């Protein structure tokens, strides 16, 4: 078992590299001279780093694949504003030679504490049907509880780290709680909460997050909106079959509204929602989801940026440069 000594966050231009990484992406490309080279993205818990292998590509192509642990010797250089490792030597490590948690991106928040806060919102619900549904998913299903504490919210872009989904769901629920107070009788607080809890619950199975996060076959073929609706259907059937769990048969309108809030949370048809929001709760869940994912995406991008000075490199998703406030400057002295 070897412990990592060098982490991606600390690697700078011209640094010699001699440490291990998890391979996030691997592809063979052809250079201008017609020679093949390997294009890699390496990761550890502190970030990601591009890398190139220029020599002996045939030897490495079948081995240096996604999810492989590798030991790399090489040097970092900054190319077009981005760090890149030129690899001189690379070898594959066995799983028992590494400590997995050194390689998987971690959130900075404690999963159990986030979960307890979320359950506080579940406990505060009033509607007996909605509350029983929330409890059956988030409290009573041990597999779901285990997944909720681990899952990232996405493969890339926003909350793309361990427990990122729970952080996102709790953040949204806190905002929705404020909106419920603000709009008073015009919104159903419990329905808003179910939207916060369940809008992305299908991601627990849409993504595989044991190693490098990727889509599962079910995720690719069905997707988290429909998977969320399927879960709600199944849990309501289970509740109805358990004597005493509900005051009566789950009301049809309530069932349809929960499903609608999940299906409409991407807002428009082009973003994968089969229905646009058709009640205020669905509209608010969509808008808060959009806001929370964008704030986190920009925060993570800005924090990880290595460009000297007050502006980030170009963000391709948002097609703009972002201003770096003091919290994003690391140890760097503020530029005038
Ligand atoms: Fe979503
Ligand atoms: Fe979301």
pLDDT at residue 334, as a whole number: 46
pLDDT, averaged in runs of 10, over the chain (336 residues): 82 92 92 90 90 90 89 89 89 89 81 96 98 98 96 85 93 98 98 98 94 92 97 97 95 98 96 95 98 95 86 92 90 48
Query: What distance in angstroms lies between residue 65's CA and the mean position of ligand 2's atoms?
Result: 30
Ligand nearest to the CA of 272: 1
d(CA 131, CA 194): 9
pLDDT at residue 104, as a whole number: 82
Ligand nearest to the CA of 288: 2
Query: What distance in angstroms lies between residue 305's CA and the mean position of ligand 2's atoms?
Result: 24
d(CA 317, CA 188): 34
CA dihedral 240, 229, 204, 317 (to 10 degrees): -160
Query: What distance in angstroms lies between residue 213's CA and the mean position of ligand 2's atoms?
Result: 16
Whether 100 contacts 43, CB under 8 Å: no
Spell 179-188 as b/e; 16+ CB within 10 A means b.
Answer: bbeeeeeebb
Ligand nearest to the CA of 196: 2
Ligand nearest to the CA of 228: 1
Ligand nearest to the CA of 159: 2
Query: What distance in angstroms lies between residue 187's CA and the mean position of ligand 1's atoms?
Result: 21
d(CA 333, CA 147): 41
- Compute the residue count for the chain: 336
pLDDT at residue 2, as a whole number: 67
Nearest of 70, 85, 74 to residue 20 by alpha carbon: 70
Query: What distance in angstroms lies between residue 114's CA and the mean position of ligand 1's atoms?
Result: 20
- For residue 39, what are the CA distances in angstroms to 17, 59, 301, 309? 17, 14, 22, 28
Query: What distance in angstroms lies between residue 266's CA and the mean position of ligand 1's atoms?
Result: 6
* Residue 103, CA atoms < 13 Å, CB-side half-sphere: 27
What tokens appear for 110 in the block?
A: 């404690």
- For residue 244, what are the CA distances in angstroms to 20, 132, 234, 240? 54, 11, 17, 9
Neighbours of ion ligand 2 (CB under 5 A): 200, 289
Query: What distance in angstroms lies between residue 97's CA and the mean position of ligand 2's atoms?
Result: 36
Query: What distance in angstroms lies between residue 265's CA and the mean position of ligand 1's atoms?
Result: 7
- Give me the helices (H) in 92-223, please: 111-123, 128-138, 142-150, 164-183, 189-198, 203-206, 217-221
What tokens appear for 298 in the block?
A: 């920009």
């Amino acid at each position: 078992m070897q412990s990592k000594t060098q982490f991606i966050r600390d690697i700078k231009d011209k640094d010699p590299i001699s440490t291990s990484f998890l391979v996030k992406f691997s592809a063979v490309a052809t250079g201008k001279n017609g020679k093949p080279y390997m294009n890699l993205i390496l990761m550890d818990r502190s970030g990601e780093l591009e890398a190139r292998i220029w020599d002996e590509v045939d030897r490495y192509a079948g081995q240096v694949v996604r999810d492989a642990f590798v030991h790399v010797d090489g040097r970092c250089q900054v190319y077009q504003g981005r760090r890149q490792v030129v690899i001189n030597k690379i070898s594959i490590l066995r799983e028992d030679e590494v400590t997995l948690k050194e390689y998987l991106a971690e959130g900075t928040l404690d999963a159990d504490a986030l979960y307890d806060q979320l359950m506080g919102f579940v406990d505060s619900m009033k509607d007996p049907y909605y509350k029983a549904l929330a409890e059956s998913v988030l409290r009573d299903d041990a597999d779901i509880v285990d997944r909720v504490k681990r899952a990232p919210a996405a493969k890339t872009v926003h909350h793309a780290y361990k427990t990122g989904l729970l952080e996102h769901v709790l953040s949204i629920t806190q905002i929705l709680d404020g909106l419920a107070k603000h709009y008073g009788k015009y919104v159903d607080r419990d329905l808003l909460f179910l939207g916060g809890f369940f809008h992305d619950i299908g991601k627990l199975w849409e993504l595989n997050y044991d190693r490098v996060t990727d889509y599962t076959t079910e995720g690719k073929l069905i997707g988290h909106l429909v998977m969320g609706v399927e879960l709600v259907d199944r849990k309501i059937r289970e509740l109805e079959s358990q004597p005493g769990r509900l005051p009566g048969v789950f009301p049809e309108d309530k069932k349809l509204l929960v499903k609608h809030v999940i299906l409409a949370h991407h807002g428009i048809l082009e973003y994968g929602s089969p229905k646009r929001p058709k009640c205020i709760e669905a509209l608010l869940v969509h808008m808060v989801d959009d806001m929370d994912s964008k704030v986190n995406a920009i925060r993570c991008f800005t924090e990880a940026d290595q460009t000297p000075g007050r502006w980030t490199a170009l963000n391709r998703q948002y097609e703009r440069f972002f201003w770096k406030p003091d919290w994003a400057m690391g140890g760097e002295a503020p530029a005038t």
